[in-house]
Structure 1
Amino acid sequence: MKITVFNGSPRAEQSTTNIIVQKFLEGAKLAGAAVDNVFLINKDINHCNGCFSCWFKTPGQCVFNDGMAELLEKYMSSDIICYATPVYTWNMTAALKNFVDRLIPLRRPVATQTEEHYDMEVRTKFPDAVVIANCGFPGENNFETIKAVFKPCNPILEIYRNSGKLLKTSNPELKAVVDEYLGYVKQSGFEIVNNNKIADDTKLKLQMELIHPEEYVDRMNIRLA
């Protein structure tokens, strides 16, 4: 099995989002998967200009000769792909959104309908999708937009981490809690490879609270003061 993460954090390897990604891939590798962590901020990807040449003039082929051709190959050769992003203004980062926009050559100009949802026909079967999102604020409401955006992908796993700044904490007490959480992330990577889903108990543990929201906000305000 091959898992490719398309990591949308502008901070790439240094990001807190990547801490989650690394643990997820660690578990996947332990289960025998080949893994790849692609940092989109380092790739040469033009913005889609909406010309639709990839649909009508050169089906499946974009007019831009840039780094996206390699990424499309990675995407389609994977069994599972993962969209990873910090929350920027309630949504995914610009780097990830640009990548998602450039996936348009993988579809055809033929409308499809599933219940009340309309989409475009895919040229070939897409890989299963995982979503990892990390937010610097407490609370689950920060992920509502991202959940809605990726719902059409029917993700087989979604990991939403609030209070994400704590992932780099040096406080021994908090670090113990963070390490416990990251252990569950690692377990989810292992389970998704073996079973194509995670256990209900693992899913519940991925939602564990790292710190009480009020205490987290107090820590944030002290740092910003």
Structure 2
Amino acid sequence: MKVTVFNGSPAGKASATHLIAASFLKGAAIAGAEIEHVYLKDYKILQCQGCFACWFKTPGRCVLADEMEHLLNLYRESDIICFATPIYTWNMTALLKNFIDRLIPLKVPQMMETNGHLDMKNQDSTPKKIVILSNSGFPGENNFDVLRASVACAEPILEIYRNCGKLLKSKNPDVLQKVNVWLESVEAAGQELVLQNNVSEEIKTKLQQPLMTIPEYMDYLGM
């Protein structure tokens, strides 16, 4: 089994998003999966032109000459795909959205219906398992509402959302202790998903635990 994270943070390895994704991949690796962490900022990915050549002229292959072809092959060979992103202006980053737009060569021009949802058919007869990993520097679960709606069509098997995301890079020992406990739950989620194809309710509950109250967090930010 291969688990690949496509990380849309412009900060790459220096990001809070990296900490979440790295913990998830660590758990997957412990469970025996092959893992890869792709930082989209390191790749030249042009914008989709909407020409549909990848459907009708060169099926499965984009006409744009950039590094997306390598990433498409990496996507194809993975079993679990993780889209990782911080929240920028209510939604995923432009880096991740641009990458997702360029996944269109993985589709074929044939309509299909799943659970009342219409979409284009995938080239691959074995659908990928989709995981969403995200953090927001603001408190409150409402910050993920737009992202949740954006990814609903992908029917993710797991969504991990971390509000008060600036705490993930805190140097405060008390805060760091709470963060490490939470990241251990992220690691456990990656391990369970690979081993048993789902995540236990116990771990899901731990993933939803607050790191701070909103007043405490506002104090922490000096706001």
Q: Do they superpose with TM above 0.5?
A: yes
- In the TM superposition, what whole-angstrom CA distance separates every residue of 1:177-201 from its partner, at most 9, and x where no partner exists? 1111011111111101101111000
The Cα offsets for residues 11-63 of structure 1, whole Å up to 9 and x where unpaired, read as 00000010011111111111111100000011011100111111111111110
Deviation at 1:115, TM superposition (A): 4.5
Contact 1:76/1:126 (<8 A) preserved: no
Aligned partner of 2:163 in structure 1 is: 162
Deviations along 1:93-116, one digit per CA (max 9) or x if unpaired, are 000000000000111112222344
Number of aligned residue pairs: give it.
222
Would the aligned equivalents of 1:188 and 1:198 in 2 still touch at CA under 8 Å?
Answer: yes
Aligned to 1:171: 172
User: Could you list the per-position Cα deviations for residues 70-106 of structure 1 after superposition, in whole angstroms to 9, with x for gaps in the alignment?
Assistant: 0011001001010000000111000000000000011
RMSD: 1.0
Percent of pairs identical after alignment? 50
**Aligned-partner Cα distance in 2 for 1:191–1:128:** 14
Range that drifts further, 87-96 or 169-178: 169-178
Q: State how far apart, in whole Å, the 2-side matches of 1:186 and 1:171 are.
A: 22
Q: How does 1:76-155 map to 2 (within 5 A)?
A: 76-124=76-124, 125-155=126-156
- Cα offsets for 1:110-156 (capped at 9, x unmatched): 22223442111111133111100110001000011111111111111
Distance 2:27 2:57 in 1: 43
> Cα offset for 1:221?
3.5
Letter in 2 for 1:177: K
TM-score by length of 1: 0.96
> Where does the alignment leave 5 or more consecutive residues of structure 2 unmatched?
none
CA apart distance, 1:167: 0.6
Asked if 2 retains the 8 angstrom alpha-carbon contact of 1:82 and 1:132, the reply is: yes
Tell me which residue corresponds to 2:33.
Answer: 33
Distance in 2 (alpha carbons) for counterparts of 1:174 and 1:24: 20
SS in 2 for 1:108: strand
Q: What residue number does 2:207 align with?
A: 206
Structure 1 residue runs of 5 or longer lacking an equivalent are none
TM-score by length of 2: 0.97
- Per the alignment, residue 48 of structure 1 pairs with 48
